[in-house]
Chain A
Amino acid sequence: QSALTQPASVSGSPGQSITISCTGTRSDVGGYNYVCWCQQHPGKAPKLIIYDVSKRPSGVSNRFSGSKSGNTASLTISGLQADDEGDYYCISYAGPNTLIFGGGTKLTVL
């Protein structure tokens, strides 16, 4: 199975909104409402910020939101802050007990 497709990098200024896309197929993103997003700061373990396409774990800011249309999922970060800088990964369910990760997107806050 190939990795989900994400843009290599995105950038935005503080206070702006950015959106990161995650494109898969009918066998993963398009086939199930089980898309997650993780945030990773340099040298740190990943952190789950979105699950089940659009749900946020307790404690995650409501500036993070997720959505899905067809085979493409999206993560939107509103009110961009310096601490949002890092790498973002989408993850999708892809069939019986199988997850697939995206290649990751580096977010730069200008």
Chain B
Amino acid sequence: QVQLVQSGSELKKPGASVKVSCKTSGYTFTNYFINWVRQAPGQGLEWMGNINTKTGTPKYVQGFTGRFVFSRDTSVSTAYLQIDSLKTDDTAVYYCAKEAPGAGPNPGDSWGQGTLVTVSS
């Protein structure tokens, strides 16, 4: 079955970098985009953008440009989210999600379990 397994929680200091992994299995990795979604503590879901897993082309929405990098490694069916120059406001749970097949644009029918990134001095 389709699975997306994310890396574990991270505690980082302001100014540091973090790289979150999203390892997929159970389907052909390059057939579907991977979306990235942020959820700050007590807040709603926010679409950060996605990556075309076939071409590696990322799409970033406003507010997630510059310090955020989406990448993928097709040899291990894994997508990555790197955040540089971390700020305390980046403290959130980050989710990866595989877009649903046979549907119009969508956030995903299979989600990772989420990775909590805590930024604190």
* A interface residues, Cβ below 8 angstroms from B: 1, 3, 32-34, 36, 38, 40, 45-48, 51-52, 55, 57, 87, 89, 91, 93, 97-104
Number of residue pairs spanning A and B whose beta carbons lie under 8 angstroms apart: 70
With A and B bound together, what is the CA distance between A99 and B33 in angstroms? 13
Q: Is the CB of A51 within 8 A of B100?
A: yes
B121 contacts A by Cβ under 8 Å: no
Q: A97-B50, A101-B47 are in contact. Are A45 and B112 (CB under 8 A)?
A: yes
Residue from B62, B105, B109, B111 whose CB has the most chain A CB atoms within 10 Å:
B105
With A and B bound together, what is the CA distance between A40 and B109 in angstroms? 13
Interface size (B, Cβ < 8 Å)? 24
Q: Which residue of chain A has the shortest Cβ distance to B101 in the bound complex?
A: A57
B66 contacts A by Cβ under 8 Å: no
Q: A38-B45, A97-B50, A99-B47 are in contact. Are A48 and B104 (CB under 8 A)?
A: no
B26 contacts A by Cβ under 8 Å: no
What 16 new A-B contacts, CB under 8 Å, besides A98-B61, A102-B44, A103-B44?
Answer: A32-B104, A34-B104, A36-B106, A38-B45, A46-B37, A46-B45, A47-B111, A48-B100, A51-B104, A51-B106, A52-B104, A93-B104, A93-B105, A97-B105, A98-B59, A99-B105
Within 8 A of A (CB), among B35-50: 35, 37, 44-47, 50
Within 8 A of A (CB), among B7-60: 35, 37, 44-47, 50, 59
Q: Is the CB of B105 within 8 A of A34?
A: yes
Cβ–Cβ < 8 Å partners of A38 in chain B: 45, 107
Q: Which residue of chain A has the shortest Cβ distance to B57 in the bound complex?
A: A97
Q: Is the CB of A45 within 8 A of B95?
A: yes
Cβ–Cβ < 8 Å partners of A3 in chain B: 44
Closest 8 CB pairs of A and B: A104-B44, A34-B104, A45-B111, A93-B105, A51-B103, A99-B47, A48-B109, A51-B106
Instruction: Say how far A56's CB is from chain B's closest CB, in angstroms.
Output: 11
Q: Which residue of chain B has the shortest Cβ distance to A102 in the bound complex?
A: B44
Q: Which residue of chain B has the shortest Cβ distance to A45 in the bound complex?
A: B111
Q: Is the CB of B112 within 8 A of A1?
A: no
Q: A34-B106, A48-B100, A48-B108 are in contact. Are A101 and B59 (CB under 8 A)?
A: no
